[in-house]
Structure 1
Amino acid sequence: MKRTHTLLASAMAVTLCQPVLAETAPEGLYSMDALIGADVFLATDRNREVGEVEDVLVAENMKVHGLVVELDDDLDGVGNDDYRFVEVRQFSVATRSGDRLDRVSYAVFLNEDLDQVRDYPRVDNDWWAQTKEAAANIWSNTKSGASSAWQATKDTTSNVIDKTKETTRDVLESLQRTLE
């Protein structure tokens, strides 16, 4: 049951992320479980496998933030356990088979050439700590900014209402004096 919930939540998170598209037509629902382990290719050379998806990173808002790709160690300039972070805008997902949940498989295509892929951020403990902290700060600033904007809107609305009441009261008092 837990696996079903995980698959459903994972699929929903990928669905919420607009840039992750199937090669032909968007399917609207993707399985993260099947995405992890998917072969990774270069969009410029669709037959050149360069690695596989190691992990899918989801932001606090439950949108896909990016992939962690383990590059093949037989590529020039790449060593063992070479993991790179790939932002959502830097890849696309194509469905290889998807007629049944137990048969879903994907291929991931990186939008840039191999030299650019080698320049993607290397994922290690330092990267993880820095990225996690930066994301938390952005989320915190967004929340406090939204809260501040809401408070400013409430204050402005309240001031407008108070001014309207005051002006209405002055007009009514002036009318009353005129009628007396």
Structure 2
Amino acid sequence: MIHGKPLHHATRTATLGALLAGSLALSAGAMAAPQGLYSTDELLDADVYAAGSSAQVGEVQDILLDNDMTVRALVIDTGTLLDLKGEQQFVIEAGKFTVETRNGHDLEEIEYRVNVELSEAELAEQPAYTNDWWQNAREGAQKAWERTKEGAASAWESTQEGASRALDRIGQALEDVGKKTQDAANQ
């Protein structure tokens, strides 16, 4: 037991905390003022507020990371707070929210407030966190990764070709200068 929680919970929290620390600090769009270290355990279930609203609209249900362990989105559980039928969970992409730390000097008292830069109506229009969304997002991320790899390979090939052509032109120019110098010396 650590802090009254089972060891597997503490290990999960420590691992997620390390991932989230780097992710939130590097994901400038997701943070107003990076503070260096964040607790995923405390971020999960953090209160969420919509733009222009002083009332809580939900809480953080999940944190979505990409292959680089960068925070890409938060899943917000609105419960019945937005007057929607039944409980709803929405995916809020990085850049559409900020995380505000409260009581950051005391690990036992640390709290986060997530401010979504969307109105309540705009929040309700975000993608619902469902299995279909998950499968489509994973497939889209994989395709994007493949395009990135192909683009990087293509860019490298273009760079090599360009450098080769430039070296050929430089070589030809040096050869021309050499011929002109030789011709001038022979006259």
TM-score, normalised on structure 1? 0.86
Q: Secondary structure at the match of 2:90?
A: strand
Q: Secondary structure at the match of 2:80?
A: coil
| Post-superposition offset of 1:153 | 1.1
Q: Which residue of 1 aligns with 2:6?
A: none
Q: Verify: 1:105 aligned to 2:111, yes or no.
A: yes
| Post-superposition offset of 1:123 | 0.9
Q: Which residue of 2 aligns with 1:89?
A: 95
1:127-146 Cα offsets, whole Å, 9 max, x none, are 00111111221222122112
Q: Which residue of 2 aligns with 1:119?
A: 125
Supply the distance in 2 between the matched residues of 1:33 and 1:74 (Cα, whole angstroms): 23
Q: Secondary structure at the match of 2:59?
A: strand
Unpaired runs of at least 5, structure 2: 1-9
Supply the distance in 2 between the matched residues of 1:110 and 1:147 (Cα, whole angstroms): 37
CA distance 1:132–1:32, shift in 2 (3 Å): same
| Post-superposition offset of 1:171 | 2.4
Aligned pairs, how many? 176
Compare 152-161 and 138-147 and name the one that shifted more: 138-147
**Do 1:72 and 1:78's aligned partners in 2 also have CA atoms closer than 8 Å?**
no
What is the percent sequence identity of the aligned residues?
A: 34
CA RMSD, 1 decimal: 2.1
Q: Which residue of 1 aligns with 2:5?
A: none
Unpaired runs of at least 5, structure 1: none
- Pick from 56, 64, 68 the counterpart of residue 75 of structure 2: 68
1:9-24 equivalent positions in 2, closer than 5 A: 9-22=19-32
Q: Verify: 1:154 aligned to 2:164, yes or no.
A: no
Supply the distance in 1 between the matched residues of 2:25 and 2:140 (Cα, whole angstroms): 24
CA distance 1:102–1:148, shift in 2 (3 Å): farther
Q: Secondary structure at the match of 1:65?
A: strand
Output the amino acid matched with 2:175. Answer: R
Q: Verify: 1:32 aligned to 2:8, yes or no.
A: no
Q: Secondary structure at the match of 1:99?
A: coil
Q: Which residue of 1 aligns with 2:144?
A: 138
**Do 1:10 and 1:33's aligned partners in 2 also have CA atoms closer than 8 Å?**
no
**Do 1:14 and 1:31's aligned partners in 2 also have CA atoms closer than 8 Å?**
no
**Do 1:71 and 1:78's aligned partners in 2 also have CA atoms closer than 8 Å?**
no
Q: Secondary structure at the match of 2:57?
A: strand
